[in-house]
Structure 1
Amino acid sequence: MAKIAFILAAFVAVALAEPPKAVPIVEYTNQRTDDGQYDLKYVSGDGTIVTSKGVLKPTADGKDNVLVYTGSYQYTAPDGAPVSLSYVADVDGFRVSGTHVPQAPLA
């Protein structure tokens, strides 16, 4: 009997749960080139801002190109704290910094 009551309560909870609210995109730009470079930005109605850019850079020997990715995002956490993060991905690897990213101690 308890099992049936639990299952019934679970169904009621799911039925009464509020569906997630759609957040509108209030600004959107996306520019791309034939060689793979791009520049993307969007801003949503809740204040979230996302940027991403891919730029071709010549390799050290000049014989080839590498696509360097840079970007950032920022939003407001549920507790009201602003959160921001920036990143770079290139031949030296992926590097990230942000308000909530722990910093390595100085050696």
Structure 2
Amino acid sequence: MYKFGIVLLSAILFAFVLARPAEEKSAASPAITTTTTPATIISQIDFANPDGSYNSSYETSNGIKVENAGYLKRILVPKQESTDGQVIDEHEELVLVQTGLYSYPDPEGNLITLRYVADENGFQPEGEHLPLPPA
């Protein structure tokens, strides 16, 4: 009976902790307003070509804009290198190259825009809001 009482008390305490309201933000912290209003797509374009290239974009009613284009690119990949760094054998591979941008208004109303290229060298973003690498 004693074990049953402990389990029951633990379950009640657990339910109480889960049911309590979230704490209010303090007045010292800055208030960030968010919206739960659903956004609608006001324009959308999607093209896929037989060669694997594509072009797509969309814009929403809340100011979000996305553009993306991609194509397949053949690159030479070394299979082996000799001890002195000479390429002994190489083969071709197809990689997807993507370029694009996305933009959205931040909570203060500023337009944030990020442009990018993603290819065999990785994801390379550019934007005024991004920190610059050390010189």
Q: TM-score range by the shorter chain?
A: 0.7 to 0.9
Deviates further, 69-78 or 35-44: 35-44
Residues 1:66 and 2:89 are matched in the alignment: no
- State the TM-score, normalized to the length of structure 2: 0.60
Structure 1 residues not aligned, in runs of 5+: 12-18
Q: Which residue of 1 aligns with 2:19?
A: 7
Residues 1:76 and 2:88 are matched in the alignment: no
Residues 1:49 and 2:65 are matched in the alignment: yes
Compute the displacement of 1:97 (Å).
Answer: 0.8
Q: Could you tell me the percent identity over the aligned residues?
A: 32
Matched AA of 1:96: P
- State the TM-score, normalized to the length of structure 1: 0.73
Matched AA of 2:108: D
Q: Which has the larger radius of gyration?
A: 2
Compute the displacement of 1:37 (Å).
Answer: 1.8
Compute the displacement of 1:105 (Å).
Answer: 2.0
Compute the displacement of 1:20 (Å).
Answer: 1.7
Give distance in 2, aligned partners of 1:31 and 1:65.
20
CA RMSD of aligned residues (A): 2.8
Matched AA of 1:7: A
Structure 2 residues not aligned, in runs of 5+: 1-14, 23-34, 78-90
Q: Which residue of 1 aligns with 2:45?
A: 29
**What's the CA shift string for 1:1-44, capped at 9, x where partnerless?**
xx96x936x39xxxxxxx82111100000111234321110011
Give distance in 2, aligned partners of 1:63 and 1:99.
36
Q: What is the aligned residue count?
A: 95
Corresponding residue SS for 2:131 = coil
Give distance in 1, aligned partners of 2:130 and 2:76.
30
